[in-house]
Amino acid sequence: MKETITPHGGNLINREIAGDEKAHLDQRVKGLKKIRLDSRQISDVEMIAVGAFSPLEGFIRKEDYHSILHNMRLKNGLPWTIPIILAVIKDEAKGLKEGEDIALQDGEGEILAVLHLEEKYLAEKDQEALQVYGTQDAKHPGVAYLYQSGEVLLGGRISLLRRSKHTQFEKYRFDPKDTRRIFRERGWKRIAGFQTRNPVHRAHEYIQKCALETVDGLLLHPLVGETKADDIPAEVRMQCYEVLLENYYPKDRVFMAVLPAAMRYAGPKEAIFHAIVRKNYGCTHFIVGRDHAGVGDYYGSFDAHYIFDEFSPDELGITPLFFDFTFYCRRCGQMTSNKTCPHLSQDHVSLSGTKVREMLRRGEVPPPEFTRPEIAAVLIEWARAQKEEYHS
């Protein structure tokens, strides 16, 4: 069976080297200059290497950087909205020469990959903050990371020698080539991808199942890379999904895998980016809900919908599925949305994340119209453990 969607740019990139090439580089790396990566950079290296960021073969060069910031495209015109960059401080950059190979280390000094350095250039942080995040406010987590990172950007292809040590979610780690193979084996031609960094609740379940009515299969793809410190941990979110899948989803029509990418909190720009990444994983459709990848009050509720109008369907190649604000309506007696429910807000059951966290800290079970009782139990147990750890 043929694949139902081609990767972004036409080919699934593979920069994970093996055989003689790996043996040769392994011999050389100890003598190379070295750069120590943070957790976001490590995940970016892996995402590039396995093809999740196709067509990128490495960290972007200056022309692509400027084109992404100002045109939302690579220099060749292909849609791309988030610059994948490797930033270092000026003192570190001084000793690096274009044309040489640089070893990339994790926090423990293990060499993971080699950067084939093609270009050094200066970051334009104010422009990047404004164009990617829509703000220069350092309280925005993506902008905060940007401003505290290095001033010099290193562009060039990477060669992955070994992956970082993963101790969690081993049975859910699948590369794009794996998910594409699984979709083929299951005979799925239309696959909807769902991105989340939050615990699943009834509104998520509703839009996932609405999408599932129109496609062959659903890829639940929780992000487990770096997130904000106050986001609920990935292991808790995954436990919630496991409970939901076990009890409320058709097992032959849903597949769950983790996305080991870092969260940028870039709102509409990240919605496009997340869609492209899921296209590389083999999805033909991508669910875009309210305030996708948003944080605080930096973005309008449906800015992540409107941005798709800036691209033609052919150039993106993946179909967005837009969902309005969803909730339980007491008068309708079901989950619904502003698109289909005629009743007033006092009939709606909808809780903010802040309100839910307050309830959990008090050991109160959120109403079943908001979240499944089994999931509430997982979250209350987590909140209780957090409270005990805080007071110990």
Active site amino acids: 197-198
Q: How far apart are CA 30 and CA 383, in angstroms?
A: 45
| The residue type at 122 | L
Q: In this structure, what token pair is assigned to residue 21?
A: 């090439």
Q: What is the DSSP string of 193-235?
A: EEEESS---HHHHHHHHHHHTTSSEEEEEEB-S---TTSPPHH
Phi, psi (deg, nearest 5) at residue 119: -160, 140
Question: What residues does 88 pair with on adjacent strands?
Answer: 152
Q: How far apart are CA 116 and CA 12, in angstroms?
A: 20
Q: How far apart are CA 255 and CA 245, in angstroms?
A: 9
Contact 311, 268 (CB under 8 A): no
Q: In this structure, what token pair is assigned to residue 259?
A: 């996305």
Q: How far apart are CA 157 and CA 118, in angstroms?
A: 8
Contact 54, 11 (CB under 8 A): yes
Q: How far apart are CA 263 and CA 228, in angstroms?
A: 8
Name residue, tokens 């698109």. Answer: 339
Name residue, tokens 């199942």. Answer: 209
Go through the chain and tell me how many residues it has: 392
**How many Cβ atoms from other residues are within 10 Å of residue 301's Cβ?**
13
**How many Cβ atoms from other residues are within 10 Å of residue 271's Cβ?**
27
